[in-house]
């Protein structure tokens, strides 16, 4: 009986060892880095509008975080992306995207993919979508399919900016509306709230709240424009 238990113990240990992933690998696995988001949100979506910019602004460069798991880098290694044509409506002349970009050393395991959006007349007609995704190459392999693609919605018309997220809604400016966004930019001159630190966000949100109260601003339905920040 003792021998039977010994054999079973050995088999159990072998099985456990076989189920464990290989602890060491030369592969690096890459994905887009998404920060905390609410369930059900389109966390892979980025909105950008030129409508808040002056007429002399003809392009905008976005930096999108990417990260990898695996051995650290001793030299720059390129990673690859491709445009998903059947999910893209943004014309080719409205963006510049290098399909191979370097993952730089000295940045740890996080770097940024850069894409330049170009202001064209067609963007005044309607919002267009650009979808691109990471693909495997000699340096990196993709994993986690739900973190391998990005949708950028681009327009030259008023639309909710990417920075107007759940944190901004709950803590600073409240629910979004086109009218509120335009009023906020007119009042503060701030076009990208995400560039501010916490104290600056509070400062400008309070300025805007007083502006709304002094002007008696309302939404299109006639209800008072609400700014939730207290102070």
Q: Specify the CATH number of the domain 29-159.
A: 2.60.40.2030
pLDDT for residue 38 = 58
CA distances from 213 to 61, 83, 217 (A): 35, 46, 7
pLDDT surpassing 80 at residue 1:
no
Give the rounded percent of residues in the chain with a pLDDT score beyond 90: 72
CA distances from 117 to 47, 133, 135, 183, 195 (A): 12, 17, 21, 25, 19
Distance CA 63, CA 52 (A): 19
pLDDT surpassing 70 at residue 227:
yes
pLDDT tens across 84-107, in order?
Answer: 999 999 999 999 999 999 999 877
Domain coordinates in residue numbering, the chain: 29-159, 163-231
pLDDT for residue 23 = 44
Q: How confident is the model at residue 37 (pLDDT cuts 50, 70, 90)?
A: low
pLDDT tens across 130-158, in order?
Answer: 999 999 999 999 999 989 999 999 999 99
pLDDT surpassing 90 at residue 207:
yes
């Amino acid at each position: 009986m003792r021998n039977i238990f010994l054999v079973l113990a050995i088999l159990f240990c072998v099985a456990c060892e076989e189920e464990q992933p290989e602890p060491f690998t030369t592969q690096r696995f890459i994905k887009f880095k998404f920060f905390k988001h609410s369930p059900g949100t389109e966390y892979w979506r980025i909105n950008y509008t030129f409508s808040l910019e002056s007429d002399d602004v003809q392009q905008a460069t976005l930096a999108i975080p990417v990260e990898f798991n695996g051995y650290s880098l001793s030299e720059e290694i390129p990673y690859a992306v491709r445009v998903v044509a059947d999910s893209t409506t943004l014309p080719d002349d409205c963006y510049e995207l290098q399909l191979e970009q370097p993952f730089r050393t000295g940045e740890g395991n996080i770097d940024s993919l850069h894409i330049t959006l170009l202001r064209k007349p067609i963007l005044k007609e309607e919002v267009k979508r650009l979808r691109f995704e990471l693909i495997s190459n000699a340096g990196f392999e993709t994993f986690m399919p739900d973190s391998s693609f990005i949708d950028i919605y681009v327009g030259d018309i008023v639309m909710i900016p990417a920075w107007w997220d759940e944190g901004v809604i709950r803590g600073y400016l409240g629910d979004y509306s086109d009218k509120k966004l335009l009023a906020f930019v007119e009042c503060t001159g701030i076009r990208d709230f995400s560039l501010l630190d916490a104290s600056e966000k509070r400062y400008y949100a309070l300025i805007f709240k007083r502006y709304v109260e002094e002007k008696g601003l309302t939404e299109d339905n006639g209800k008072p424009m609400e700014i939730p920040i207290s102070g």
